[in-house]
């Protein structure tokens, strides 16, 4: 997220959309609660269900799953029509004034440039680009030009008037109007609106555009880069932030460096040229990239051999996301599989097919704390183990409290955690397993093989003398970055070089292991509650990437002249001669060589330091596969036709073949209800850990489905009855939960029922239960490839 | 004449013996495995059949002992002598049963001796516990007199003799205290026990009902005994008891009405709820009807009349105790309780044991009055001496 | 100084961390449980769950409120359980905790009669029904933490939202009123201030307490503000007088009526055993 949990205390209004922190991020509720208690902050929760978070809200706006874009656009339209947006911020810090190509157009739900090849739709983004005069973008600061971003946006969102929005979302109009009024009240310099989101926003076939919409709203209201504002993703697994930082995604290297494409980047030169923009902080990409190669290949990486660029595995541009992998696996194209800390037999979309796909493997290694559903797929209920030829290994691993290392939370705080207890039995830390595995692989390769260099030459010397465990401090230092010549630990990625004199595994982490001069511990081990600003920045508690910056884009908290929009929330401030800062400035404020202060006008035009424009993008000419602007589409499975355009679904949504292609038709009478999946505070994810924890199993023992009283009456069930829930892809049975936390909604004149399914259960553990994901569709967002877990059609009947 | 102990085994007694046997097994099972597997008790209903019925009712029913003692030994209404010993006997057995059921019911039965040494004297239960223990001792000593008579250890009997008067007094004071305390136990249930039963006067209602229960109980026992042993029922004794009972019932009724009105809850008796209906049944069928029956000479003088009225009184007291323990609490507890098979079996076994022991003792000890003595004793009131002369 | 906890229902998010940490700290085993429609399994306090967070859904027309209330022993100022215990197994410590006398040995005072369970107006003490020699179990206010480490209770430490606040009862009571007075959303009542003579745990809320499963009324009247021990004591205190007085009256009566009767009957020969007569008859 742009801000941090401890910054929530500065917010005036929270717009919590598609997140349920009371269940999933209880600590976030603490900080929200502080704002409510201390400054009377107001809370809006936008969720199809009346959640535990909604129970704490001033307004709960129910909406039909999958209609967030309409919902957010309605607010933007309201802000523009009623002149409630933050004009000075929009003009100065966003691309509102940029003129877009006159060829750009939008008709009936489709942007210009939609093409089709081999039955696969995609967009050509040429006509989404800015009008340029040489290298300079043409702008109209009066925001009047019909092709300026502001006017395009205004036209685009004007279709989303309150009536239309509520027709789509099913939100009662008066409730919606209240939301618009309250949230638009943060479009003033002295008000901060905090937008938090999570999976209710992302897990859709247009999840990326949902997120875009949240960011655009925040830009319009001037809520990014300020204390108490921000777009705050309540992130997932305790270290999912760390894992994405570390490049655990198939298209990224550590530090969000795009991974090399064999066709586009055959040489280092190609990579650096094509991936390095002239503007924005990304212009430093070569320094990050080469330092990374240096960290990986050490002495072997030289200028002469392009720092071993050839060693890097390169992709072909094909989809290797979770869903694609399992489709390939089901087709027998994958021989071996490591389920390393994941449980796709429960957590993956269409988990029943996922389990079947595993049968096609020759071998599988499960590295886990428990014998999960994935580890036991070969002896799951209803199959005969003798029919399955996959060889399965289970390596017991240590739990997070049984090993040392860092965890990066949603606030981007990299916090060192010490080992509390020893792992039981034969369990080893993941690091130990990885180390042993690498050593074993190298041993195999000693006898020779195809292209052994990358394996044999990689830096791999983490042994700790006299210890069974590898030396995690060595790895931490490598990630942090150091001067190659003398091993000096770097304090900042500003010191990284593209000449091979520095090495750094994860550039954004640079400085996290640098010793604090006062506290005498590495940054990530700091635990000081010092907070001089009183804004909850806590600069000496752990280390926030990048550079211990607590609120990113913080230049935007002050006007172009450097005067804070709101002095009570001052992050950075130009006093006429120099910058006086509470947070680490996110802009060039001091000349690196001379040390001279850089006056505010320089940074004002480049306040969003990571975008090529240096401005916040209300319109995204690049980066999105499904349009420069979000647009409301129906989820791939929907009970109704799209009201706003003839285009029913995201034209470029990720879809898959064969068994994975099953989708109920729009308005299907067989599957009349909308299902959405959600989490419970008592369980974690696929429940592998929590359903094996007796105390938690006791607190939430059984799988259930929540339906409205209305639906319960219609199908004649009372709480605790067993019902069958079916989708186009399967059927499960569980107990029925009847609570007024879900209610039927009016959508375009039609009453639709929403049912809620927690997805924490599987056949293993102390509290087994049926798996919600046996029902979910195998479709997803074209940018992130996240599956559409949050909106699909089902039927519920007495079992 | 020293005689052999005898006990005739009839089919009925066989059944009882079997029940006792089963109960002993159940008791052992319960002691080993604990209360959870054997009872339907729960945190909602910590006290069930054993406390609610066996203890509370057992002790109330045994109340016959001390009220008769009061009448005979303190007030010296000698005409009631014929029933004195039988009453004492039932009472003693009743208490032993109460103690056994208590032992069964307490979770940590291995600790049953603790209360003698660790005193929580702020507790009503403390008083109940001590009174019951002491009173049982007193009764044993009182009975010792009879026992010694039977086994003819006269020197001991001589020693006991002078102690009998203080023992008798104690034997009335103690039960008066704990009969009332059994009621006081329920003072803690304020706001939970239905107000028709909850009252600061509940100790009074308990002790008072235990008093009037005595004569009624004696009537029933006497009738049963006479049936069993083919003797003439002591009808005149029963009849003369009716007046006492009737007046006590009337006092009970009046105090009840005053109490309900004083607390402003009298209206609840007519609010149509389950509780109110149970209360009305309790008051009408088991208090007012007996009063009327006792008041009408043509009923009172008939054996069926006295016996029916007495039976109503006895059932009424049980009914009252059940209402306090179960009916009145059900509403606030929210869930229901029905004793488990094991609870029933143990209770059945204990009451079977009561009957068997009673039969045995009556058949082997001088408990019942010699048949030919009765009439005279009753006709004269000073006839005891005469009786003695006859015997002589 | 007597301690307490202020529970602010408006801040509780029903995360149930308090329940988990109570179990961990006190080493309580988990039971097998079942689905509950309110998502609050096991739903009620029991011997292995000294605290539960109850979930209350309140519907007023279209409006729905969802409130979570942590329940545990209230640690009454004058505890009914303590006064009910005839072996005096329970004590109220000066810190405010109502616990079994705090040594293992003394815990053994308990005979398991369960009168404390009947006595507690909040239905708190629970029994280890599944044990052959069970104890009564309930929240101990983490007396061990308080005593040895100067720590606050485990549940309070775990609570992420500040719904639970530990401190001196007097100060908490003042803070409770200060919160109530400064925000109109609160119900103007501190539950535990006066109920049954007052409790160490205090509750404030924005929905009426009776909708949260608290007893504020019983049978149409406010619940007692007098402590249960004081009520019982009102009766119990007469015991010695009754004992002596009633004994004296009886003794007096005995001698008085005896002199009047002036006769001594021969009890010994008046009664006989049944089988004596039968035998007589048969003989
Ligand atoms: N206790 C617990 N905590 C967790 C986890 C856990 O499993 N258990 N998982 C962790 C992980 S990995 C993650 S990613 C996070 C996820 O955290 P969240 O995203 O908060 O979790 P969810 O419950 O999946 O979804 C949030 C809400 O989205 C709502 N929703 C569904 N569809 C829509 C929609 O179309 N629009 C909107 N606006 N809302 C919708 C659901 O009703 C739900 O209340 O939680 C993390 N924290
Ligand atoms: N229907 C539906 N499905 C969903 C979602 C949804 O909202 N709805 N949410 C999705 C989201 S956001 C996520 S993140 C995924 C999560 O999906 P998964 O990551 O597959 O699910 P987890 O249960 O988190 O799996 C983690 C596994 O790691 C093991 N583990 C825990 N600690 C360690 C460790 O230290 N080392 C190792 N090696 N293993 C460890 C656990 O025992 C567990 O088996 O599920 C997705 N699935
Ligand atoms: S990460 Fe841990 S402490 Fe933070 S909210 Fe989740 S469970 Fe609570
Ligand atoms: S709440 Fe109950 S158990 Fe707790 S101190 Fe009060 S009377 Fe005792
Ligand atoms: S169960 Fe134990 S603690 Fe409770 S009253 Fe009886 S003896 Fe005392
Ligand atoms: S005070 Fe201690 S014992 Fe009581 S509920 Fe909290 S954690 Fe449990
Ligand atoms: S830990 Fe705090 S917020 Fe969570 S349920 Fe318990 S009292 Fe409520
Ligand atoms: Mo996640």
**Residues C149 and C272 placed together within one structural domain of the fold:** no
pLDDT exceeds cutoff 80 at C73: yes
**Residues C244 and C207 placed together within one structural domain of the fold:** no
Q: What is the dihedral of CA B31, B33, B35, B38, to 10 degrees?
A: -100
CB contact under 8 A, A694 and C35: no
pLDDT digits (tens, 9 = 90+) for A25-84: 999 999 999 999 999 999 999 999 999 999 999 999 999 999 999 999 999 999 999 999
User: In the prediction, which pLDDT does A201 show?
Assistant: 98
pLDDT exceeds cutoff 70 at A798: yes
User: In the prediction, which pLDDT does B222 show?
Assistant: 79
pLDDT exceeds cutoff 80 at B80: no
User: In the prediction, which pLDDT does C106 show?
Assistant: 57
Measured CA to CA, the distance from residue B21 to residue A576 in angstroms comes to: 101
User: In the prediction, which pLDDT does B390 show?
Assistant: 28
Q: Which residue of C has its CA nearest to B331?
A: C219
> Is residue C254 one of the residues assigned to a domain?
yes
CB contact under 8 A, C87 and B106: no
| Alpha carbon of C139: minimum distance to chain B alpha carbons (Å) | 15
pLDDT exceeds cutoff 80 at C243: yes
Domain locations in chain B as residue ranges = 19-37+45-185+338-392, 189-336
pLDDT digits (tens, 9 = 90+) for A737-777: 999 999 999 999 999 999 999 999 999 999 999 999 999 99
- A173 in reach of chain C (CB within 8 A): no
* Closest partner CB to B363 (pick from C112, C231, C275): C275
- CB < 8 Å to C269, chain B: 387-388, 391
pLDDT exceeds cutoff 80 at C1: no
pLDDT digits (tens, 9 = 90+) for A470-509: 999 999 999 999 999 999 999 999 999 999 999 999 999 9
Q: What is the CATH number of the domain that holds C35?
A: 3.30.70.20
Confidence of residue B391 (pLDDT cuts 50, 70, 90): very low
Average pLDDT over all residues of chain A: 96
pLDDT digits (tens, 9 = 90+) for A172-196: 999 999 999 999 999 999 999 999 9
- C33 in reach of chain A (CB within 8 A): yes
* Closest partner CB to A737 (pick from C16, C37, C42): C37
pTM given for the model: 0.93
- CB < 8 Å to C263, chain B: 78, 382, 384-385
**Residues C65 and C183 placed together within one structural domain of the fold:** yes
**Residues C179 and C251 placed together within one structural domain of the fold:** no
pLDDT exceeds cutoff 90 at A600: yes
**Residues C151 and C281 placed together within one structural domain of the fold:** no
**Residues C55 and C10 placed together within one structural domain of the fold:** yes
What region does B334 belong to: left with phi over 0, alpha with psi -120 to 50, or beta? left
pLDDT exceeds cutoff 90 at C280: no
Query: Of the candidates A301, A288, A258, A306, which has an alpha carbon nearest to the alpha carbon of residue A459?
Result: A301
Q: Whose CA is nearest to atom 4 of ligand 3?
A: A27
Per the structure, the count of domains in chain C is 2
Please state the rounded mean pLDDT for residues C174-200.
97
What is the three-class DSSP state of A408?
strand
Please state the rounded mean pLDDT for residues B218-226.
81
What region does C112 belong to: left with phi over 0, alpha with psi -120 to 50, or beta? left
Written as one string, the DSSP assignment of B221-286 is: HHHHHHHHTT----HHHHHHHHHHHHHHHHHHHHHHHHHHHHTT-GGGGGS--HHHHHHHHHHIII
What is the three-class DSSP state of A23?
helix
Confidence of residue C58 (pLDDT cuts 50, 70, 90): very high
pLDDT digits (tens, 9 = 90+) for B256-277: 999 999 999 999 999 999 999 9
Confidence of residue C260 (pLDDT cuts 50, 70, 90): low
**Residues C158 and C252 placed together within one structural domain of the fold:** no
- Residue A557 near residue A190, CB atoms below 8 Å: no
**Residues C160 and C203 placed together within one structural domain of the fold:** yes
pLDDT digits (tens, 9 = 90+) for A67-124: 999 999 999 999 999 999 999 999 999 999 999 999 999 999 999 999 999 889 999 9
Burial label, B163 (beta-carbon count in 10 A; 0-12, 13-18, 19+): middle
Measured CA to CA, the distance from residue A24 to residue A163 in angstroms comes to: 33
DSSP state of A674: E
> Is residue C159 one of the residues assigned to a domain?
yes
- Residue B94 near residue B317, CB atoms below 8 Å: no
Please state the rounded mean pLDDT for residues A550-562.
97
Please, where are the H alpha helices in C64-168? Answer: 80-84, 104-107, 115-119, 143-144, 154-158
> Is residue C155 one of the residues assigned to a domain?
yes
pLDDT digits (tens, 9 = 90+) for A608-659: 998 989 999 999 999 999 999 999 999 999 999 999 999 999 999 999 998 8
Contact map slice: B 331-360 vs C, CB within 8 A: 332
**Residues C71 and C172 placed together within one structural domain of the fold:** yes
User: Which residue of B120, B158, B174 to mutate against C (max C Cβ within 10 Å)?
Assistant: B120
Query: How many CB atoms within 10 Å of residue A494?
Result: 14
**Residues C150 and C228 placed together within one structural domain of the fold:** yes
Please state the rounded mean pLDDT for residues C89-107.
80
**Residues C58 and C171 placed together within one structural domain of the fold:** yes
Structural domain including C20 reads 3-76+140-235
**Residues C228 and C167 placed together within one structural domain of the fold:** yes
Pocket perturbation via mutation, ligand 2, pick of A686, A729, A771, A781 by most ligand atoms within 8 A of CB: A686
């Amino acid at each position: 997220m742009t801000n941090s949990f401890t910054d929530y205390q500065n917010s005036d209004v929270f717009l919590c959309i598609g997140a349920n922190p009371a269940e999933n991020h209880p600590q976030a509720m603490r900080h929200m609660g502080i704002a409510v208690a201390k400054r009377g902050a107001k809370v809006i929760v936008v969720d199809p269900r009346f959640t535990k978070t909604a129970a704490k809200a001033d307004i709960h706006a129910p909406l039909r799953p999958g209609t967030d874009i309409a919902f957010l656009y309605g607010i933007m339209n309201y802000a523009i029509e009623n002149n409630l947006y933050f004009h000075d911020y929009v003009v100065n810090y966003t691309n509102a004034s940029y003129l877009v190509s006159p060829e750009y157009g939008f008709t009936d739900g489709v942007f210009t440039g939609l093409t089709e090849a081999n039955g696969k739709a995609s967009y050509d983004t040429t006509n989404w680009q800015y009008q340029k005069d040489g290298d300079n973008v043409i702008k109209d600061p009066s925001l009047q030009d019909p092709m300026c971003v502001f006017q395009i946006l205004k036209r685009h969102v004007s279709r989303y008037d309150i009536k239309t929005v509520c027709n789509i979302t099913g939100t009662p109009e008066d409730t919606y109007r209240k939301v618009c009024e309250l949230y638009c009240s943060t479009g003033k310099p002295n008000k901060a609106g905090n937008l938090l989101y999570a999976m209710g926003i992302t897990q859709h076939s247009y999840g990326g555009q949902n997120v875009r919409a949240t960011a655009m709203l925040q830009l319009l209201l001037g809520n990014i880069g300020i204390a108490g504002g921000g777009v705050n993703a309540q992130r997932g697994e305790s270290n999912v932030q760390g894992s994405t930082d570390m490049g655990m995604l198939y298209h990224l290297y550590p530090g969000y460096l795009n991974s090399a494409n064999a066709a586009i980047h055959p040489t280092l030169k190609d990579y650096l040229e094509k991936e390095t923009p002239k503007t924005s902080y990304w212009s430093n990409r070569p320094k990050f990239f080469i330092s990374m190669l240096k960290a990986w290949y050490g002495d072997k990486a030289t200028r002469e051999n392009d720092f071993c660029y050839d060693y890097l595995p390169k992709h072909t541009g094909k989809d290797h996301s979770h869903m694609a992998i399992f489709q390939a696996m089901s087709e027998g194209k994958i021989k071996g599989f490591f389920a390393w800390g994941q449980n796709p037999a429960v957590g993956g979309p269409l988990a029943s097919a996922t389990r079947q796909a595993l049968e096609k493997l020759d071998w599988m290694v499960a590295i886990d704390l428990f014998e999960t559903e994935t580890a036991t797929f070969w002896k799951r209920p209803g199959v005969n183990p003798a029919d399955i030829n996959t060889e399965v290994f289970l390596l017991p691993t240590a739990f997070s409290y049984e090993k040392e290392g860092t965890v990066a939370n949603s606030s981007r705080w990299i916090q060192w955690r010490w080992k509390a207890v020893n792992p039981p039995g034969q369990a080893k830390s993941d690091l130990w397993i990885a180390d042993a595995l690498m050593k074993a692989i190298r041993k195999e390769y000693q006898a020779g093989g195809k292209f052994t260099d990358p394996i044999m030459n990689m830096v791999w010397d983490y042994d700790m003398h006299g210890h069974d465990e590898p030396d995690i401090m060595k790895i931490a230092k490598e990630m942090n970055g150091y001067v190659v010549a003398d091993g000096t630990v770097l304090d900042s990625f500003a010191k990284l070089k593209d000449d091979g004199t520095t090495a750094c595994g994860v550039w954004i982490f640079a400085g996290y292991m640098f010793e604090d001069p006062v506290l005498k511990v590495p940054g990530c081990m700091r635990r000081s509650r010092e907070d001089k600003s009183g804004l909850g920045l806590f600069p000496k508690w752990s280390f926030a990437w990048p550079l211990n910056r607590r609120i990113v884009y913080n230049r935007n908290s002050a006007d172009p002249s450097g005067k804070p929009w709101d002095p009570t929330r001052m992050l950075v401030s130009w006093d006429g001669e120099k910058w006086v800062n509470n947070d680490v400035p996110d802009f060039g404020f001091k000349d690196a060589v001379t040390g001279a202060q850089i006056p505010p006008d320089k940074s004002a035009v480049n306040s969003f330091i990571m975008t090529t424009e240096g401005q916040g993008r209300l319109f995204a000419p690049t980066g999105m596969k499904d349009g420069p602007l979000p647009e409301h589409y129906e989820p791939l499975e929907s009970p109704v036709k799209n009201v706003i355009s003839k285009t029913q679904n995201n034209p470029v949504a990720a879809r898959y073949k064969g068994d994975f292609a099953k989708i109920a038709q729009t308005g299907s009478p067989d599957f009349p209800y909308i299902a959405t999946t959600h989490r419970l505070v008592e369980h974690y994810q696929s429940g592998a850990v929590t359903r094996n924890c007796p105390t938690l199993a006791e607190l939430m023992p059984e799988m259930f489905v929540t339906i409205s009283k209305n639906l319960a009456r219609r199908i004649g069930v009372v709480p605790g009855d067993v019902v069958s829930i079916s989708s186009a892809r399967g059927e499960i049975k569980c107990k029925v939960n009847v609570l007024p936390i879900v209610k039927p909604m009016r959508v375009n004149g039609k009453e639709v029922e929403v049912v809620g399914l927690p997805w924490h259960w599987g056949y293993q553990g102390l509290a087994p239960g049926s798996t919600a994901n046996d029902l979910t569709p195998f479709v997803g967002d074209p940018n992130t490839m996240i599956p559409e877990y949050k909106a699909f059609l089902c039927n519920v009947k007495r079992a | 004449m020293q005689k052999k102990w005898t006990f005739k085994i009839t089919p009925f007694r066989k059944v009882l013996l079997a029940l006792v046997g089963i109960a002993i097994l159940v008791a052992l099972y319960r002691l080993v495995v604990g209360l959870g597997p054997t009872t339907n008790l729960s945190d909602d209903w910590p006290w069930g059949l054993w406390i609610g019925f066996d203890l509370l009712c057992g002790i109330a029913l045994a109340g016959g002992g001390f009220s008769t003692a009061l009448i005979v030994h303190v007030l010296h209404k000698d005409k009631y002598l014929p029933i004195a010993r039988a009453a004492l006997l039932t009472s003693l057995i009743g208490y032993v049963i109460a103690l056994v059921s208590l032992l069964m019911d307490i979770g940590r039965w291995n600790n049953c001796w603790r209360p003698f040494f660790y005193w929580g004297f702020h507790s009503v239960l403390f008083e109940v516990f001590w009174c019951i223990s002491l009173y049982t001792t007193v009764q044993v000593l009182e009975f010792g007199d009879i026992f010694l008579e039977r086994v003819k250890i006269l020197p001991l009997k001589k020693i006991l003799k002078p102690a009998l008067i203080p023992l008798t007094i104690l034997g009335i004071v103690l039960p008066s205290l704990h009969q009332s305390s059994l009621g006081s136990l329920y003072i803690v249930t304020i706001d939970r026990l239905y107000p028709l039963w909850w009252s600061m006067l509940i100790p009074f209602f308990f002790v008072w009902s235990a008093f009037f229960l005595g004569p009624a109980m004696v009537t029933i026992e006497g009738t049963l005994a006479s049936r069993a042993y083919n003797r003439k029922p002591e009808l005149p004794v029963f009849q003369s008891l009716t007046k006492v009972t009737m007046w006590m019932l009337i006092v009970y009724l009046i105090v009840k009405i005053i109490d309900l009105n004083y607390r402003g809850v009298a209206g609840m008796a007519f609010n149509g709820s389950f509780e109110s209906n149970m209360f009305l049944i309790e008051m009408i069928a088991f208090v007012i009807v007996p009063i009327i029956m006792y008041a009408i000479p043509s009923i009172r003088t008939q054996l069926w009349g006295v016996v029916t009225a007495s039976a109503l009184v006895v059932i009424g007291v049980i009914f009252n105790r059940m209402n306090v323990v179960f009916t009145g609490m059900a509403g606030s507890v929210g869930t229901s309780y029905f004793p488990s098979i094991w609870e029933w079996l143990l209770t059945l076994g204990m009451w079977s044991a009561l009957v068997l022991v009673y039969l045995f003792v009556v058949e082997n000890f001088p408990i019942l009055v010699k048949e030919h003595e009765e009439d005279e004793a009753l006709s004269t009131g000073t006839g005891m001496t005469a009786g003695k002369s006859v015997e002589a | 100084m007597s301690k307490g906890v202020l529970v602010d229902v408006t801040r509780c998010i029903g995360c149930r961390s308090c329940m988990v940490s109570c179990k961990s700290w006190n080493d309580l085993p988990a039971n097998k449980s079942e689905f509950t429609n309110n998502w609050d399994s096991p739903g009620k306090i029991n011997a292995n769950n000294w605290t539960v967070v109850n979930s209350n859904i309140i519907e007023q027309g279209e409006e729905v409120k969802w409130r979570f209330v942590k329940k545990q022993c209230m640690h009454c100022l004058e505890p009914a359980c303590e006064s009910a215990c005839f072996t005096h197994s329970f004590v109220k410590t000066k810190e405010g905790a109502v616990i079994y006398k705090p040594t293992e040995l003394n815990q053994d005072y308990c005979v398991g009669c369960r009168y404390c369970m009947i006595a507690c107006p909040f239905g708190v003490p629970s029994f280890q029904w599944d044990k052959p020699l069970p104890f009564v179990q309930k929240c101990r206010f983490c007396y061990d933490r308080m005593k040895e480490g100067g720590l606050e209770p485990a549940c309070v430490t775990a609570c992420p939202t500040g719904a639970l606040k530990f401190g001196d009862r007097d100060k908490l009571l003042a803070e409770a009123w200060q919160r109530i007075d400064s925000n109109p959303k609160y119900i103007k009542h501190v539950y535990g201030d006066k109920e049954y003579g007052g409790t160490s745990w205090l509750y404030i809320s924005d929905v009426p307490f009776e909708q949260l499963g608290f007893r504020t009324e019983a049978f149409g009247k406010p619940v007692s503000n007098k402590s249960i021990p004081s009520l019982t004591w009102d009766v119990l205190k007469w015991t010695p007088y009754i004992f002596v007085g009633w004994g004296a009256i009886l003794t007096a009566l005995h001698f008085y009526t005896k002199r009047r009767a002036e006769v001594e009957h021969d009890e010994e020969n008046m009664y006989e055993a049944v089988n004596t007569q039968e035998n007589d008859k048969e003989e």
